[in-house]
Chains A and B, each alone.
Chain A
Amino acid sequence: MRSSIRTLKRSLMLKLLVLLVILAGLLFYSNRTAISVILDGRQATEIINATGRQRMLVQQFVRQANLALVGLSLSDWDTLLEQRKLSAETSAQFDESMHALLEGGQTRLGASTVTLPRIEATDIRAGLMEISALWDEVKRISVKVLRSDQNQLRDHPDLARLQSTAIRLVAKVDDTLQLMQLRELQRSSQLIFYQNSLLLGGLLVFALLAAFVYRSIVNPLAETIEKLDQSEIQLRNLYDAAPVGLWQANLADGQLLKTNSLMARHLQCTGDCDEGCDSEKSLYSLLPGNAVVFKSALEREGEVTDFETCVPEADGSKRTLLISARHYPDKGLGEGAVIDITARKRTEAELAAVHKQLIQTSHQAGMAEVAASVLHNVGNVLNSLNTSSTLIATQIQKSKVASLPRIARVIKDKGNDVGEYLNHDPKGKQLPDFLCQLADHLVKDQATQLKEMELLQENIEHIKEIVAMQQSYAKISGVVETVVIADLIEDSLRLNLGALQRHGVEVRREFEEVPPVDVEKHKILQVLVNLVRNAKYACDESGRSDKIMTIRLAKAENRLRISILDNGVGIPQENMTLIFSHGFTTRKDGHGFGLHSAVLAATEMGGSLTAQSDGPGKGACFTLEVPFTPHRIPSSDPASKACMELVETRNHNHIAAI
């Protein structure tokens, strides 16, 4: 609206300016023309006067020439010389004026000197040229006559010629003067015409100006006022119907000067607060306990946005309002908007609960993955356990220890004849050798069983460790911990260690030096366990003898990047977009939840999980990227120092292993 008013104003001013320029141009042109006509008239007068002076000079010259001739004829030399001199001066004056009239220039006119323009009018110029020619003839005759001797003066033919030529010259001057006066008259008429034109032009411009004012100012002004009225109504309606509470208040005491209907509802007013709200209602009634904070913030910053306040309701519940305001210090006023965000708050709380639940579900899902892995490992160990116990049982069943009671009964039955029996009886003579062999068997069995029992005990310890690890991750869900990422990678490998060894997968580590970071440990582990297991499967399914899984750890700017590469079966291009979908799997015993939960976990951490493969048989690379948040511990903290030292040592070892 403001910009359109500006545009309108600019347009009006422009039009007015154009009209004024036209008016000024007309005035200037008329003035210039009038001045030009006046100047021309003055010059024309000067030309007429100069030409009139030529007439006088001709007559004067002839008179002086005649007097000189009288002096000559009477031998009155003084008269002759004086008149000759005067006629020469007169001739010079005539020549000067003639030159000024024909070519322009200065000439004397009475006591003053005037500058004449070059006369361009053909007829006048022709007349002047004729005058000039006649003047030359008069001069020539005059010279000729004056050069006569005294005795030749009587009946001198050139005397009559001088007189007649002078008369013709004067007549020509008169004719030219008449022509000049006629032109001057015409010029005067032109001046009158210009004066009239000026008046008419002025009237025309005035009429144009009046029309312009009516059309461009009065009419649009009326329309604009009408539009403004409509606009104000619309604005009022919009103001009232605004989905936010709008207010204007005196900042000193919070007295509301203007509110819309929603604001009135917020204030629980009953009427329209257009002309000022109920004096008891103050803006600060919406700010119980934090009005001072709000006011000081507004006065300090000049603007407050999203100031959250809770207003207790009559039923004991609370409404949450968001207040934004702008301060106008020169008027002592504040203006702003109030939004009821109670519903939003409620929704946000619900959303948070859902989110929490989702996280928990995800965690559980992740933990299920880990648990599956744990169970798988535990199962493997249990196989070994079973083998060992079966072996022990078989050995016990096959043990020669059952011969010992029989030998004992024989020895008891012989009583005192045991010696005779052992020395002379053929069976008795075989008994010591049999006992020696039995003893060897029993010692051997014992050794075998002890070994199996140790294996049994080791496997039981292994199971205990796996379970303990699972328990340790299971109980720290959602907690950000400071961890050494390399250790976490090692844990994930350890959880899959049995399977990796059994399937002969070589693990290569390419770890960059990375300081301890603050991450959700269990989520990283969940993703890594999943990725390691997938890599193992991929390698195993490829059937190749050189199964290699490479784990890279790197830091890129503010991201931490863990890549797990395998040279396994690879991923067809068509599956690249599906592998992270819930339920998608290519394995017979797969459930399609592993990568899905892994990508969710990565997203929850503000990171990403991406896959890359050049196609079937060309292996794959899964990359987990998470924000890099280095753990900052004061250097004086001995625990942190120990942690850093540990990291450095481990990193060094990893690098050494690579």
Chain B
Amino acid sequence: MSPFPKFKSVRAAVVVLVLACLFLCPLIHAQDAKDSGEEGSRPVRIALSAAFVSESGMPVFQKINDYLSKKSGLRCELITGLSYGTINKMLGDGAIDSAYVCGLPYVIERDKAQPTVDLLVAPIMKGERYKGQPKYFSDLIVKKDSPVQGLADLRGKTYVYNEELSNSGYNMPRHKLVESGETKGFFGRVLRSGSHEESIRMVAEGQADASYVDSLVLDYDRAKGLGYAARVRVIESRGPAGICPVVVSVKVPDSVRKKLQDAFVGMDKDPEGRKILDEALVERFEVVRDDNYDDIRKMKKAAEEARFSVIK
């Protein structure tokens, strides 16, 4: 016995089908709406990692978030204060939909057998040294009155990094040590700070002798006079390397990612968006290709090949 009802005529079957469609369409639409962060559904969660800006600079990214909500029609929620690893996991689990992440966590997640994220956009910074490219730098900082002139002077000294998954704070200096053949133990002590902002503070207050920090964070804090940025000096910059991208979970529907991407990319052409970008020292957001991050991949691979995963 068939579980489906038998219709006496084709005409009746068509009527039932139409009614069923009329009944089911709103449900389907509601499901779409839930996924897209529209009213009544979970908001689109966008995590901001410490790769982009310090805790003090969060308000300008809240403005970007508000702008995105307004322009995309999505209800976007900005989430901060989580580690790169946690953000990656949450992206993988679909607990968050999008994130401003560091290049290295993107590469890690993207290069998995089952990628959890896709590139959405990447910022082009206003600074001259960025030359209008989706690239950034890793700046080696020391205390302003420190006698250290270069990495060589830091032998045996205390080095602080933000996170192990940070490209600028960990991958790039690690690659430098690999290049320099200093894989047997260069620093006297290595500390984890949790963020570039905390690394800057620890160097400025003498709790550490040096740190490689994200140029985006340092430039922003210096320009806005935030935190301890004025109390440190840059003795070396590494890069350029693929800039921290905005990624989107692979679980996010195309319609949502499209709306987000359009809102990001259109910001610099809209006076309101332009004003926010100027405040954030960002020239524009643009869609970038995955190969923009090949330099990071190479540095990561070099360390792996040198079996030098932990800075010491």
Give the interface of A toward B (CB within 8 A).
72, 75, 77-78, 80-81, 84-85, 88, 140, 143-150, 152
Cβ 8 A contact of A144, one of B79, B95, B198: B198
The answer to whether B163 and A147 touch across the interface, beta carbons within 8 angstroms, is: yes
The answer to whether B93 and A147 touch across the interface, beta carbons within 8 angstroms, is: no
Residues of B within 8 A of A81 (CB): 45, 79, 95
Stretch at the interface among B80-88, B108-116, B131-139: B80-88
The answer to whether A147 and B83 touch across the interface, beta carbons within 8 angstroms, is: yes
The answer to whether A144 and B85 touch across the interface, beta carbons within 8 angstroms, is: no
The answer to whether B81 and A146 touch across the interface, beta carbons within 8 angstroms, is: yes
The answer to whether A143 and B194 touch across the interface, beta carbons within 8 angstroms, is: yes
Instruction: Closest A residue to B42 by CB, please name it.
Output: A78
Instruction: Closest B residue to A142 by CB, please name it.
Output: B81
Within 8 A of A (CB), among B47-98: 50, 55, 79-83, 85-86, 89-90, 93, 95-96
What would 23 A/B residue contacts be, using CB atoms closer than 8 Å? A72-B86, A77-B90, A77-B93, A77-B95, A77-B96, A80-B82, A80-B86, A84-B79, A84-B81, A88-B80, A88-B81, A147-B50, A147-B81, A147-B82, A147-B83, A147-B86, A147-B163, A147-B194, A148-B83, A148-B194, A149-B85, A149-B164, A150-B86
B41 CB, nearest partner CB in chain A, Å: 15
The answer to whether B86 and A149 touch across the interface, beta carbons within 8 angstroms, is: yes
Given A143-B194, A148-B194: A75 in contact with B89 (beta carbons within 8 A)? yes
A191→B306 CA distance, assembly (Å): 78
Residues of B within 8 A of A78 (CB): 95
Residues of B within 8 A of A140 (CB): 198, 201
The answer to whether A149 and B81 touch across the interface, beta carbons within 8 angstroms, is: no
Instruction: Closest B residue to A143 by CB, please name it.
Output: B81
Summed over the interface, the residue pairs from A and B with CB atoms below 8 Å come to a total of 55
Query: Does B309 make an interface contact (CB < 8 A)?
Result: no
Instruction: Closest A residue to B162 by CB, please name it.
Output: A147
Give the interface of B toward A (CB within 8 A).
45, 50, 55, 79-83, 85-86, 89-90, 93, 95-96, 163-164, 192-195, 198, 201
A85-B79, A143-B81, A143-B195 known; 7 new pairs, CB 8 Å cut-off, are A72-B82, A77-B90, A81-B79, A140-B201, A148-B83, A148-B194, A150-B89
Residues of A within 8 A of B81 (CB): 84, 88, 143, 146-147
Residues of B within 8 A of A75 (CB): 89, 93
A614→B93 CA distance, assembly (Å): 141
Chain A contact surface mostly: helix
The answer to whether B86 and A144 touch across the interface, beta carbons within 8 angstroms, is: no
Instruction: Closest B residue to A149 by CB, please name it.
Output: B85
Residues of B within 8 A of A144 (CB): 193-195, 198
The answer to whether B198 and A143 touch across the interface, beta carbons within 8 angstroms, is: yes
A72→B90 CA distance, assembly (Å): 10
A379 CB, nearest partner CB in chain B, Å: 137
Residues of A within 8 A of B45 (CB): 81
Residues of B within 8 A of A88 (CB): 80-81
A228 CB, nearest partner CB in chain B, Å: 86
B100 CB, nearest partner CB in chain A, Å: 14
A85→B81 CA distance, assembly (Å): 10
A84→B81 CA distance, assembly (Å): 8
A13 CB, nearest partner CB in chain B, Å: 67
Given A75-B93, A77-B93, A147-B195: A84 in contact with B82 (beta carbons within 8 A)? yes
Pairs of residues from A and B, 10 with the lowest C-beta to C-beta distance, nearest first: A77-B95, A147-B194, A144-B194, A149-B85, A147-B83, A146-B81, A77-B90, A149-B83, A143-B81, A147-B195
Instruction: Closest A residue to B93 by CB, please name it.
Output: A77
The answer to whether A143 and B55 touch across the interface, beta carbons within 8 angstroms, is: yes
B304 CB, nearest partner CB in chain A, Å: 19
A429→B69 CA distance, assembly (Å): 193
Residues of A within 8 A of B50 (CB): 147
A547 CB, nearest partner CB in chain B, Å: 122
Instruction: Closest B residue to A139 by CB, please name it.
Output: B55
